């Protein structure tokens, strides 16, 4: 097969060999239902509880604050639905550039439960206007949930999460952050970050698809959105995804082992790629922030200058063996344009390409992509 490079790690990541090994071992040896009381069941249960303990200790939370889910989407849904159903929330403050797992959920809560939705103003790079957020928080007595993503999955803009958490506490609002793009990519310390809900998805950090968790602050008591056998201490029914949970814990452990090195290595690749693009493709522009402390180091979203084949740029990149995307994977395929680029009033007449990296990306991958991009533009 011709060479192919994978620069779409914000959509999903290849699984780490060590994660596959752990999962294969569980698959072979631990078929007991974690709710069964015999030894095989208890062994499965122990795998889940060990995973919960290692995950919680990595993020400095308590084991009981981790609720395993089928991934980021379910965790986002649970945080928003439970806030309204169980915690008295009547108003949600969020943004127009949230992942659809949040955006479609607050829209649904607005129409089905009459929840008031206020969208915070954004700067042209997707940065949250903190003054406006404070004004919104001040001007209502309704019990409020703030749901703002930690890093935008399309343009990488980071939220100053501690400042937002402090504002939420000051005005007695609940705070949920979709940390799907940042969990395992930055260190998390929930002893220092006062937050109510965090969302995690394993497949964004070399773990398996279809598993994640919602962190729920110990002070909150929520009910399930999926009813059944009362697993996850009654908060999420259904026989646990034992294999996935074991993989999730291993993937988070591996990511945290050398997290600072990963940050340095991947950031260097991102800025190298940007430099190369600027040199080879004059007129290229970045969507989102450039400063490392304001921008997710795994994402580089660029606006290509207009050229006659721009409509098919992604397709041509694919033919040349460069896997990347136009926006989030969820809207890919049908090129409907990105709600994020529209949300920041970005230029939708030019083609946006998101390159996204992981600790397995190499300089050779970037050089290959640059060479193909030059070729496409030279045509
Ligand atoms: C920011 C963000 N939130 C939520 C999700 C959904 O997570 P999952 O694919 O695990 O449902 C994704 C990615 O797909 C994402 O990038």
Nearest C-alpha to atom 16 of ligand 1 is from which residue? Answer: 153
* CA distance readout (Å), 166 to 56, 119, 142, 285, 295: 22, 19, 18, 34, 21
pLDDT digits 0-9 by tens, 266-298: 999 999 999 999 999 999 999 999 999 999 999
pLDDT digits 0-9 by tens, 39-84: 999 999 999 999 999 999 999 999 999 999 999 999 999 999 999 9
CB-CB contact of 105 with 149 (8 Å): no
Among 131-135, 168-172, 343-347, the least confident range: 343-347
Q: How far is the CA of 328 from the centre of ligand 1 (A)?
A: 9
What is the pLDDT averaged over residues 10-25? 98
- Residue 345's pLDDT is 84
Ordered DSSP codes for 53-79: HHHHHHTT--GGGEEEESSHHHHHHHH
- Residue 359's pLDDT is 98
Q: Is the CB of 201 under 6 A from ligand 1?
A: yes
Of 168, 323, 324, 330, the active-site residue reads 330
Q: Is the CB of 372 under 6 A from ligand 1?
A: no
Residue in 9, 11, 71 to alter for ligand 1 test, most ligand atoms within 8 A of Cβ = 71
* CA distance readout (Å), 52 to 142, 167, 255, 256, 310: 34, 30, 16, 15, 47
Residues 6+ apart with CB under 8 A from 202: 71, 208, 209, 211, 212, 244, 247, 248, 251, 252
Q: How far is the CA of 262 from the centre of ligand 1 (A)?
A: 21
pLDDT at position 317 over 70: yes
pLDDT at position 115 over 90: yes
Residues 6+ apart with CB under 8 A from 373: 277, 280, 281, 317, 322
- Report the nearest atom of ligand 1 relative to the CA of 73: 11
Q: Give the residues across from 118 on adjacent strands.
A: 93
Residue 330 known to be catalytic: yes
Rg over alpha carbons for the chain, rounded to the nearest Å, is 21
Q: Indicate the SS3 state at residue 181.
A: coil
Q: How far is the CA of 309 from the centre of ligand 1 (A)?
A: 30
- Which sign, positive or negative, has the C-alpha torsion 101, 102, 103, 106? positive
Residue 194: how many CB atoms within 10 A of its CB? 13
Q: Is the CB of 99 under 6 A from ligand 1?
A: yes
CB-CB contact of 346 with 287 (8 Å): yes
């Amino acid at each position: 097969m011709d060479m192919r490079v994978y620069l779409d790690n914000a959509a999903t990541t290849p699984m780490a060999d060590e994660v596959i090994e752990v999962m294969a071992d569980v698959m072979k040896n631990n078929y007991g239902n974690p709710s069964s009381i015999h030894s095989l069941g208890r062994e499965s249960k122990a795998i889940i509880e060990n995973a919960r303990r290692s995950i919680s200790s990595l993020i400095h939370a308590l084991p009981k604050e981790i609720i395993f889910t089928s991934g980021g989407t379910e965790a986002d849904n649970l945080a928003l639905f439970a806030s309204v159903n169980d915690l008295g929330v009547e108003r949600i403050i969020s943004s127009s550039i949230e992942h659809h797992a949040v955006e479609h959920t607050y829209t649904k809560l607005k129409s089905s439960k009459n929840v008031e939705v206020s969208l915070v103003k954004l700067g042209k790079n997707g940065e949250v206007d903190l003054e406006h957020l404070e004004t919104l928080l001040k001007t209502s007595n309704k019990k409020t949930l703030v749901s703002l993503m930690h890093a935008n999955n399309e343009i990488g803009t980071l939220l100053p999460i501690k400042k937002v958490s402090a504002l939420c506490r000051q005005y007695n609002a609940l705070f949920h952050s979709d940390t799907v793009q940042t969990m395992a990519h930055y260190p998390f310390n929930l002893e220092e970050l006062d937050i109510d809900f965090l969302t995690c998805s394993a497949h964004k950090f070399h773990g398996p698809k279809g598993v994640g968790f919602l962190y729920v602050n110990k002070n909150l008591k929520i009910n399930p959105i999926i009813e059944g056998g009362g697993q996850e201490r009654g908060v999420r029914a259904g026989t646990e995804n034992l294999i996935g949970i074991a993989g999730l814990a291993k993937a988070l452990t591996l990511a945290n082992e050398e997290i600072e090195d990963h940050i340095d290595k991947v950031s260097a690749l991102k800025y190298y790629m940007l430099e190369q693009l600027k040199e080879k493709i004059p007129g290229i522009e970045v969507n989102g922030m450039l400063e490392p402390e304001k921008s997710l180091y795994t994402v580089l979203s660029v606006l290509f200058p207009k050229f006659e084949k721009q409509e098919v740029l992604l397709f041509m990149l694919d033919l040349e063996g460069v896997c990347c995307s136009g926006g989030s994977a969820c809207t890919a395929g049908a090129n409907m344009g990105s709600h994020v680029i529209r949300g920041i009033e970005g230029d939708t007449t030019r083609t946006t390409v998101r390159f996204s990296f992981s600790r397995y990306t190499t300089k050779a991958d970037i050089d290959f992509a640059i060479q193909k991009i030059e070729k496409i533009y030279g045509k």
